């Protein structure tokens, strides 16, 4: 349904098996993973992530996109929303995710991606809740979540530590 979208500066496309090198490059970069509790990905872990994302698209018609710079067509990130399988108060949960190559940081591209992802979430049958889980030291990621309209909802356990949880107000989805 939303396999491809274009924003003012981004080309968003559902991943394909051919995206394995780009997924690995972004997820193995130490700078891009400085707040990731699992640390930089191995080749095998990146391949597992890509397989999972491909399955999301097959099952749900929704998932994370490969993010390309509209001017160069270079892959500069990965992100979007995907169903987590969790429910809160009878609502399906969508995880909002954004990871960019360091050279793409600081230009508002993650916020632009999040706006597109939340726009897609609004087209799905409610009730839904969109969440983002952010490492407490990742102030840039927390700022992106806030600019995308999510509100800080406290701390949650995640990968052996406490993480900030941001939630999109339910009424914003309906």
β partners of residue 91: 88
Contacts 24+ apart (CB under 8 A), 133-136: 133/95, 133/158, 133/163, 133/164, 133/165, 133/166, 134/35, 134/163, 134/164, 134/165, 134/166, 135/35, 135/36, 135/37, 135/161, 135/163, 135/164, 136/162, 136/163, 136/164
Residue ranges per domain, the chain?
4-173
Taking the complete model, does pTM exceed 0.85, yes or no? yes
What CATH number belongs to 4-173? 3.40.630.30
pLDDT digits (tens, 9 = 90+) for 99-148: 999 999 999 999 999 999 999 988 887 778 899 999 999 999 999 999 99
Pairing state between β 91-100 and 128-134 = parallel
Q: Note the pLDDT tens digit of each residue in 35-88.
A: 876 767 889 999 999 999 999 999 999 999 999 999 999 999 999 999 988 887
């Amino acid at each position: 349904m939303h396999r491809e979208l274009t924003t003012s500066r981004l080309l968003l496309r559902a991943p394909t098996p051919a995206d394995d090198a780009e997924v690995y490059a972004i997820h193995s970069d130490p700078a891009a993973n400085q707040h990731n509790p699992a640390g930089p990905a191995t080749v095998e872990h990146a391949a597992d992530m890509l397989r999972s994302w491909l399955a999301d698209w097959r099952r749900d018609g929704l998932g994370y996109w490969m993010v390309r710079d509209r001017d160069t067509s270079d892959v500069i990130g990965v992100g979007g929303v995907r169903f987590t399988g969790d429910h809160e108060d009878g609502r399906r949960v969508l995880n909002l995710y954004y990871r960019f190559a360091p050279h793409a940081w600081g230009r508002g591209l993650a916020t632009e991606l999040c706006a597109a992802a939340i726009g897609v979430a609004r087209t799905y049958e409610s009730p839904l809740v969109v969440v983002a889980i952010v490492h407490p030291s990742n102030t840039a990621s927390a700022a992106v979540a806030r600019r995308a309209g999510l509100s800080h909802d406290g701390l949650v356990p995640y990968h052996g530590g406490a993480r900030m949880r941001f939630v999109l107000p339910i009424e914003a989805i309906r």
